[in-house]
Structure 1
């Protein structure tokens, strides 16, 4: 069993009012072991995946374990436009115990399935991108067997690396693809922002052989907005549910310097917000996460603020 820590009010700071004008006033706290009794009202569940073991295994920069709390500290300062009936609950953090990443992924899977069963919309804060495997498996447990989940990955990397030497931040979608392959199914996957200077030819070949959809970074921009929207709509129409994962290292380091693998050659927030709008309007979103924030390398908390702003947009559009 991985370590589990309850959420802390210390991570939700900011201005206060008498009208819950800020999210630090709106937030509630609960345990995945003994949750708050949930009404039929919409509940947004925040859960942290406080681990960078997958980044370490993938030879990246350590520090993403600090990401979930750094996002909370920026999100709490932001205005609250949620209605009174909508609950926003912090369920704390799952942490890697004894470098056992595989157990952590399993525990996240169980936690996500539990949150969905209790009428929560899971928003997972990372942490390294290996959380995607646990998150997806948890979503899969919740849906009927004859339904499909489409994965939309905002990322510079496919994360299709083989896991022959263990799971890592580079393997989650390879794991998902091979799980489906074992059942004679195909992965429903779209990556937005892929860069040729960040993926080997073997990864492109794997994507092609598994009929993965992707847009290279040079086309994932506002100049090609109509094309991006068309590709997204076509993908969305072909699945029953959507799992969306936002890897902050896909953004240019001009916007996101504090990540596990930074590059100036990434995408910008405007095209991501346009894409998220389409995803949310589909009504098919089942779970979302933001990953790879590394506060050790952040500048003026810019990357944490970017992550918080993206989540602020999502939770108010759900």
Structure 2
């Protein structure tokens, strides 16, 4: 039922796959065809195209170039089973598309399969977020984007989907993090709202100077949404919408790999593709790096136990408790559970952080992300 509205891949495309080298990705992926629907057993990653762009424009969506570029690549040393479930066609209404995508993503997550969604306008992120409703958990969303998408412009849901996430019930959004915003694209009112809600935002320059600051942010994410307009045109090939400043191709692939390697990321979306063949090359490599990262997941917290960690206690006004993994040397800081308050989190939990956060705490500085997480937990 969840996949009834998925359209199989076209015969011409499947013929293209047949003519490829046996070592390419195209020969190692199971496709949804007119005659066969992929078996979900032992599958790790599912690719879904969404041919819906009404959240941004009236332009159609064509993912054929993206698929051809991606399946022409060679896989790494992966043991990851990948399927391509085909496309979701635009519904009679935008909400119909949301419903089909939400249902499909929810079913995949329940089966421990990570969906990679190719859009389409970025408001499809909202449908991916609503897929977590049935899982009854708080959700952390990370957006790689030059804008916050708080705007309330009529007819442009791609510029306002974040507002819907914050306002609409059920309200499962625990944290929103933006990676790569450019100040001149966002009003001061929007920047102030990010601060007021204790959300995290990292300017483009910050991340370009030190991409590793984004790794703990992805490590705590359930859903990652990537706006291709966050990449500068000289690297993306998108000259229809000229973007003079943004991430380089190398940087966006590094961020995609961080998203893939996060044990917690349950769904990944790439949006606002302009249908050009040039941009398709970059999208293919973004997906490749996400899957490369996925292959190297270590199944640490929240899936492992704390027994394999070294515990550090920093004595400040309130003790700060850090954990360091023996396996990967990554760091976490504990957010304590306060029993006499209206906690959003129902138990103490660990927040991913950097070694630098521990060193700062040793010098008497409370990590900003820890402070924000504490405040969010209580509002």
Does TM, scored on the shorter chain, surpass 0.5?
A: yes
* Residue deviations 1:142-191 (CA, integer Å, cap 9, x gap): 53x3x43221111111111237x4561112211111136x74x6541111
Q: Which residue is equivalent to 2:31?
A: 29
Runs of 4+ in 1 over 6 A off after TM superposition: none
Q: Which residue is equivalent to 2:83?
A: 89
Deviation at 1:30, TM superposition (A): 2.8
TM-score (norm 2): 0.68
Deviation at 1:231, TM superposition (A): 5.3
Q: Which residue is equivalent to 1:10?
A: 12
Q: Which residue is equivalent to 1:103?
A: 96
Q: Cα distance 1:35–1:210, how it changes in 2: closer, same or farther (>3 A)?
A: farther
Deviation at 1:253, TM superposition (A): 0.8
* Residue deviations 1:235-282 (CA, integer Å, cap 9, x gap): 456x4x521111110011111233774311112133333333433333
SS at structure 1 position matched to 2:266: strand
Give, in whole Å, the separation in 2 of the partners of 1:129 and 1:292. 6
Q: 1:313 aligns with which of 276, 289, 293?
A: 289
Q: 2:69 aligns with which of 74, 81, 91?
A: 74
Q: Which residue is equivalent to 2:181?
A: 194
Kept in 2, the 8 Å contact 1:65–1:128? The answer is: no
Give, in whole Å, the separation in 2 of the partners of 1:79 and 1:232. 26
Q: Which residue is equivalent to 2:122?
A: 129
How many correspondences in the alignment? 288
TM-score (norm 1): 0.80
Identify which of structures 1 and 2 has the higher relative contact order when contacts are C-alpha pairs closer than 8 Å and 6+ apart: 1
Root-mean-square deviation (CA, aligned residues, Å) is 2.8
Kept in 1, the 8 Å contact 2:69–2:284? The answer is: yes
Give, in whole Å, the separation in 2 of the partners of 1:259 and 1:112. 32
Unaligned runs of 5+ residues in structure 1 are 57-61
Kept in 2, the 8 Å contact 1:124–1:288? The answer is: yes
Q: Which residue is equivalent to 2:161?
A: 172
Q: Cα distance 1:279–1:43, how it changes in 2: closer, same or farther (>3 A)?
A: closer
